[in-house]
Structure 1
């Protein structure tokens, strides 16, 4: 794979991930686990989602630097800086500029598009192989620190459950309510993301190679 293809795949993948988060927020059916935590906390302290997510990613990145440095690449930095702000910008345009009225059909469409963008975005990101997002390294670190006693897939479930609980606590504390951060969209993301990522990854690897 040429460097140009890797860079274009990485940038496009990160853009799709930003779209995914914005569509999940617009659907009001719940967001992915990491976004759930960041939405809950940012709403509680009155920060923008993008700014709070950038801070959390920076903190996690410090840990990743010492525990799983091989996970860090150009894509890591671009992901941690831009995904949250892309989501904030698209939600701002939809809600405040265009003022789209999200009725049930539009919410369902947004949910389906979000899942498509999530899977395709991560697949592009993985095929480009230019580093992974700080949060995606957490399960790798847990597996490493427990000497494989907690394997990656279980570590990912554990980290997802913990961040969702944190998101729920802060969402309730802020008065936004549990359904502002979790819902059927969270479940769909958890159940279908893996198989769809593998599907798109296989197709993209053939295209890029």
Structure 2
């Protein structure tokens, strides 16, 4: 695969992830698991979502460096820097500038689009093989350390459930409540993201 095509897939995948997070936040149905943890913690300590997510990614990146160094590349750095800020920008644009009224139909559409973008986005930059987000490497590390006894899609569900619990705990501690970070959207994302990433990844690899 040509480097230009791989770079395009990587950039498109990262854009999809940023849009996914923003759509989930706008839907009000709960965000994806990793964002749920970061929203919960950032709200608790009073940081912006984008800044805390960048720091969290940097911490995970250290672990990835020692356990799955092959996952690190240009896409890793671009993802960890820009996804959180893309989400913050789109939410600011929609809520403060355009001031979109999120009716129930719009919220449902945002939720569905977010899930598709999440899975397709991760699959795109995994296939591009130019580095993946630190958090997306966690399931790969679990699969590696368990000698594939826990396959990628199950490892992804496991890691997603853990970070959601952490996010909820911090959201409750900050007084924001569970629904500030988690909801039906979080459950859908946690349960289907792993299998859908695997599905899209298989399809893209055949292209």
TM over 0.5: yes
In the alignment, which residue of structure 2 is the partner of 1:193? 193
- Tell me, yes or no, if the aligned pair for 2:157 and 2:194 is still in contact at 8 Å: no
CA distance change for structure 1 residues 130 and 192 in 2, over 3 Å: closer, same or farther?
same
**How far does residue 60 in structure 1 lie from its aligned partner after superposition?**
0.7
In the alignment, which residue of structure 2 is the partner of 1:25? 25
In the alignment, which residue of structure 1 is the partner of 2:94? 94
Stretch of structure 1 that moved more, 5-14 or 95-104: 95-104
CA distance change for structure 1 residues 146 and 128 in 2, over 3 Å: closer, same or farther?
closer
User: Aligned runs of 1:8-47 on 2, under 5 Å?
Assistant: 8-47=8-47
CA distance change for structure 1 residues 60 and 38 in 2, over 3 Å: closer, same or farther?
same
In the alignment, which residue of structure 2 is the partner of 1:55? 55
Q: Classify the secondary structure of the residue corresponding to 2:182.
A: coil
CA distance change for structure 1 residues 69 and 202 in 2, over 3 Å: closer, same or farther?
closer
- Tell me, yes or no, if the aligned pair for 2:139 and 2:155 is still in contact at 8 Å: yes
Stretch of structure 1 that moved more, 69-78 or 157-166: 157-166
**How far does residue 150 in structure 1 lie from its aligned partner after superposition?**
4.9
CA distance change for structure 1 residues 153 and 125 in 2, over 3 Å: closer, same or farther?
same
RMSD: 1.9
Describe the superposition over 1:55-76 as per-residue Cα deviations: whole angstroms up to 9, x where unpaired.
Answer: 0000110111112111111111
**Which blocks of at least 5 consecutive residues in structure 1 are unaligned?**
none
TM-score normalized with structure 1 length: 0.91
User: Aligned runs of 1:16-165 on 2, under 5 Å?
Assistant: 16-146=16-146, 150-165=150-165
**Which blocks of at least 5 consecutive residues in structure 2 are unaligned?**
none
Describe the superposition over 1:123-173 as per-residue Cα deviations: whole angstroms up to 9, x where unpaired.
Answer: 211221111111112233334445556554443333222211110011111
